[in-house]
């Protein structure tokens, strides 16, 4: 009898400057009840990415006292694995590797302090933003696997494996089932799926099959309770009860899939006559038309968006100004902390054409403020370069103008 092995990777993440009342609300609506499910007696098996910045926000909001012990208990019982990401949730492919490494190491150190010793198994790139150049860094940092979206694979003629796991020099690449992840997390459903309906559907799909297969689902943890009220109960908990009766479906942590005999690990061949080596640059939001027009990260760095263009010019200017500064010198610690916080993805996300909301532009302004402060401090430490400050001021003016024009609806 064939088995479908499934794994859920949930992501808990919030902006660094999120209001603490909002953090408490989200914690009550989903972080606490989901953590209780992680630690329950129904044989849960989940993988979780929870960022350094969210751990700090939970502590400030007083919500860590309930959540952290539950996560520790679930980890100790083998029911939960913690994967690592960027401490402040930046877009990895758009930053220098030194900054990506810094973000991952900060995240790892934070989880070590808050949750105890955690092995380096999986690494989760924020927003599932991928580029082939990241693999070498992940390997050097001794991670075992990452996950990318499978949405573009058919259009670039890369098969989505059902019973094989791609590997690049021994490093495993899981492909997120976009179809199922999006279907489970579709907020337009309002009530979402019932967990038992989901498992029954997979059981019917496997009836008559002769070979084992697997699927990996990755969703925002906030889907389960914050975006869809009580969805942790109607989907996650209901799914665990349904799995007790399932004939074909088994739940695993993502890393457990690497240990299953029925799933072969196969080397990913290099692509020929394509603009990438192994997999196309992409994100959770990248559609085929985005990729074709050279826009692999459309919600964070979209072509033809004047706000995005100026934001990233400012980001590159800040990085140029800080190149060569000795951050091992404690006197530069304040600048280092500013840089760590300055490039969070949400400032670019809310500047995208598809996500523009007047009520969220303060997040864009906060990102600009962090970057300008970092620029002024870096120039002062480096001995002063008026050209950098002049260019920074020009970009600041451009950003304020473009945001205003977008706000009043002229663009």
Strands 249-252 and 145-149: unpaired
Q: Which residues contact 151 (CB under 8 A, 6 or more apart)?
A: 178, 282, 286, 287, 288
374: Cβ contacts below 8 Å, ≥ 6 apart: 318, 321, 322, 335, 338, 339, 342
Are the CB atoms for 51 and 12 separated by under 8 Å?
A: yes
208: CB partners within 8 A, 6+ apart: none
Q: Is the pLDDT of residue 313 over 60?
A: yes
Give the closest residue to 166 by CA, choosing from 205, 214, 209.
Answer: 214
| DSSP secondary structure letters along 118-131 | ----EE--GGG-B-
For residue 186, the model assigns a pLDDT of 80
pTM: predicted TM-score of the whole model, two decimal places: 0.95
What is the reported pLDDT for 188?
53
Helix or strand run (H / E) with residue 50 = strand 46-50
pLDDT value of residue 187: 56
For residue range 148-160, what is the model confidence (pLDDT) as tens digits?
999 999 999 999 9
Segment 37-62, tens digit of pLDDT: 999 999 999 999 999 999 999 999 99
Residue 136: predicted pLDDT:
98
pLDDT tens per residue, range 231-266: 999 999 999 999 999 999 999 999 999 999 999 999
Mean pLDDT of 351-355: 90
Contact 67, 35 (CB under 8 A): yes
Mean pLDDT of 368-375: 97
Domain edges within the chain: 4-267, 306-407
Q: What is the per-residue pLDDT across 78-110, written as a single tens digit (0 to 9) for each?
A: 999 999 999 999 999 999 999 999 999 999 999
Give the number of other CB atoms < 10 A from CB of residue 37.
21
pLDDT at 139: 98
pLDDT band at residue 402 using 50, 70 and 90 as cut-offs: very high
pLDDT of residue 364: 96
> For all residues of the chain together, what is the average pLDDT?
95
Determine the pLDDT at residue 409: 78
pLDDT in tens, 262-287: 999 999 999 999 999 999 999 999 99
CATH for 4-267, options being 3.90.480.20, 3.20.110.20, 3.40.50.10860, 2.40.50.140:
3.20.110.20
Answer with the residue of higher pLDDT: 69 or 192.
69
Q: What percent of the chain has pLDDT over 70?
A: 98
Provide the pLDDT confidence category of residue 411 given band limits of 50, 70 and 90.
low
Confidence band of 367 (pLDDT split at 50, 70, 90) = very high
**Percent over 90 (pLDDT), the chain:** 90
Residue pLDDT, tens place only, 110-124: 999 999 988 999 999
């Amino acid at each position: 009898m064939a088995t479908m092995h499934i794994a859920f990777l949930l992501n808990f993440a919030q902006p660094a400057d999120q209001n603490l009342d909002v953090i408490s609300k989200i914690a009550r609506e989903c972080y606490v009840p989901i953590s209780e499910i992680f630690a329950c007696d129904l044989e849960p098996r989940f993988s979780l990415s929870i960022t350094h910045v969210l751990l700090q926000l939970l502590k400030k909001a007083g919500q860590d006292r309930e959540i952290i012990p539950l996560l520790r208990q679930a980890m100790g019982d083998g029911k939960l694995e913690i994967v690592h990401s960027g401490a402040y949730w930046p877009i990895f492919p758009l930053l220098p590797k030194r900054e990506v490494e810094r973000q991952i190491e900060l995240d790892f150190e934070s989880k070590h302090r808050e949750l105890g010793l955690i092995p380096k198994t999986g690494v989760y790139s924020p927003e599932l933003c991928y580029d082939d150049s990241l693999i070498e860094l992940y390997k050097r940092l001794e991670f075992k696997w990452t996950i990318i979206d499978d949405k573009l694979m058919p259009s670039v003629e890369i098969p989505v494996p059902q019973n094989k796991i791609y590997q690049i020099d021994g490093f495993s690449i899981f492909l997120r089932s976009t179809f199922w992840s999006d279907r489970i997390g579709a907020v337009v459903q309002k009530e979402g799926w019932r967990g038992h309906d989901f498992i029954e559907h997979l059981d019917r799909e496997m009836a008559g099959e002769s070979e084992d297969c697997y699927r990996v689902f990755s969703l925002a943890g906030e889907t389960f309770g914050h975006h869809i009220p009580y969805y942790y109960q109607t989907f996650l908990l209901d799914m665990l009860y349904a799995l007790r009766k399932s004939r074909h479906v088994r739940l695993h942590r993502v890393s457990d899939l690497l240990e299953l005999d029925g799933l072969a690990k196969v080397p990913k061949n290099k692509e020929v006559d394509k603009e990438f080596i192994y997999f196309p640059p992409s994100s959770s939001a990248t559609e085929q038309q985005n990729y074709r027009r050279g826009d692999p990260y459309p919600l964070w760095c979209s072509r033809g968006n004047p706000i995005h263009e100026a934001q990233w010019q400012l980001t590159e200017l800040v990085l140029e100004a800080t190149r060569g500064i000795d951050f091992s010198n404690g006197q530069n610690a304040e600048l280092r902390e500013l840089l760590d916080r300055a490039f969070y993805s949400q400032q670019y996300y809310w500047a995208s054409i598809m996500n523009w909301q007047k009520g969220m532009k303060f997040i864009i302004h906060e990102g600009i403020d962090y970057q300008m402060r970092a620029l002024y401090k870096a120039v002062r430490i480096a001995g002063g370069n008026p050209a950098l400050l002049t260019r920074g001021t020009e970009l600041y003016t451009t950003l304020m103008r473009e945001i205003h024009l977008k706000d009043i609806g002229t663009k």
